Each structure stands twice: as structure tokens, then as C-alpha cells.
Amino acid sequence: MTDRVYETALGSSTKDKITLLGQDLAEDVMGTVGFGELAFWLATQRRPSTGETRVFEAVLAALADHGFTPTAIVTRLTYLSAPDSVQGALAAGLLGGGSRFLGVTEDCGRFLHDVLATAETPTDEAGWDALALDTVEKTKAAKKFVPGLGHHVHKDGDPRTRRLFEIADEEGLRGPHLELFAAIGRVHPRVLGKTLPLNGAGVCGAALADLGLPLELLRGFALLARTAGLVGQLAEELRHPVANDVFLSVDLNNRPVPPDPQR
């Protein structure tokens, strides 16, 4: 045992009461605070405004589920292999949240933040376009890619991007990260010689950064959203299973070939 006292503003219990964020959980939170609002509150330890909650929950909705992505497929296959381990199936899907799927949210938020940290904040669209142009040029010169630029399906525009900008504008929450991201969307064809859409994962990262959420946790919010989607994937797998077909499509259609040693 130790005499040390561990302080926390999160959950704490006594014999007859549970407190959370300084509130009585049973009386002040349950049935009163929505899950999205609570998730924001837990991460920032400040209660979000109605507008902040709306933008945050729009981000969660945008990232929840995108169909048969690798994260969804591995969740279904893991459940097929171990139906006694729902937690394992969900964990398998979440572990696939990386640079190609879900991680773009964090990558874009960090990218925009790094640019803004060393630049003077523009005051008009021309200023934002100039900053964006310089940013894209430097990124191309470094032989890197702008996170959040381009989409393998929505070649002519990601519908989530337009809607999230609209919601942020309606709530007066279009901040510098969204401004810079929008400007990148306007100017990048001058540098790249082609027009790419601003994808939904990227705009989500910009919106979360504008809400003041910790950059280190941006991927965590994407994973929070995707957890709901993966639960939905498992629920659909129970009703209309496809995992065994996916497994058999590979298992019954492979053929042996000679080893191909690395050179």
C-alpha cells in the first residue's frame, strides 16, 4: 500500500455516489449529456458549447463507417475466427487505423497546425491562398504529400468535406486550420497540375484542430468514431454473414508457386 493520493477530475466513486468531471454521474450526466458531448468534455475537461458539440459529432458521424474497408473486413474475419471474442474483433479493426485509413485525420490536423505555428495568420482570402501556395510548393519540393488531399473514390469531391465546412460556418467555428485547408483546395492545382478533392478525413482533422482538441488525440477521436462503425459491422455480420465467403474466396482460389526470394 502507499500513502500517495492520485488526483483525477474524471471518474471517482464513493459508497453511494459516482462523480465524473465534477458532476454527479447518475443525476447530472446520465440522460442529460449526449455521448459526443461527453467525449469532448472528457478530452478537454471543459464542457463544449452547443456549436462545438455539433461540429464534433458531425466529425464522428463522418468517420464512423465507410463500408468494407480493411478495418471492417479484419473485424469480421476476426469474429469469424473467434466469435467468443468481440473485443478481439473490435481491437483488430481499430489496430488497422493508420496512415492510409483513419490516420489521415491526425496527419492533416498536425500538418496544418505545423504550418500555422510558424506563419503569420492571414486576414483575407488572398492571404490564405498565398500561405497555402507556399505550403504546397514546399511540400512538393520536399517530395512529400499534403495529408487530406485526394480520394480514391470521390474524385470529383468528397460530400463530407462540403457538409463539414457548412456546419462549421453555421456555428461560427471555421478557424485557421479549416481556412488553410480550404485555401489548399483552391490553389494546389497551380502547383500539382491537377485538381484533387479535399477528403473527409482531412477536413475532420482540420475541424478537430480548430475545436482546440489535443493534436496527440486526433487519431483517438477517429478511432472512437470507427468503434461505432465496427460494432455495426459485427451486427450486420450476425444478420448477413460475409466473412466466411471472404475467407473462402482466398482459401479456395490460391495456387502454389515457386519461392520468390528477395534480391
Residue 16 lies in a domain: no
Are 138 and 203 part of one and the same domain? yes
Name the pLDDT band for 155 (thresholds 50, 70, 90): low
Residues 136 and 40 in one domain: no
**Is residue 164 in some structural domain?**
yes
235 shares its domain with 146: no
* Domain co-membership, 200 together with 177: yes
Integer-rounded Cα radius of gyration of the chain: 22
Q: For 81-111, write each residue's pLDDT tens digit.
A: 999 999 999 999 999 887 777 788 999 999 9
56 close to 36: Cβ distance less than 8 angstroms: yes
- Full domain range(s) for residue 151: 103-213
Distance CA 88, CA 97 (A): 15
Which three cell numbers mark 163? 457538409
Render 201-220 in DSSP notation, one character per residue: HHHHHHHHHHTT--GGGHHH
- 3-class state of residue 115 by DSSP: helix
β strands within the chain, DSSP E:
12-13, 18-20, 23-24
**23-69 confidence digits (pLDDT tens):** 999 999 999 999 999 999 999 999 999 999 999 999 999 999 988 99
CB–CB of 147/101 below 8 Å? no
3-state secondary structure of 219: helix
Same domain, 177 and 222: no
Q: How far apart are the first and last CA of the chain?
A: 58
- 112 with 191, same domain: the answer is yes
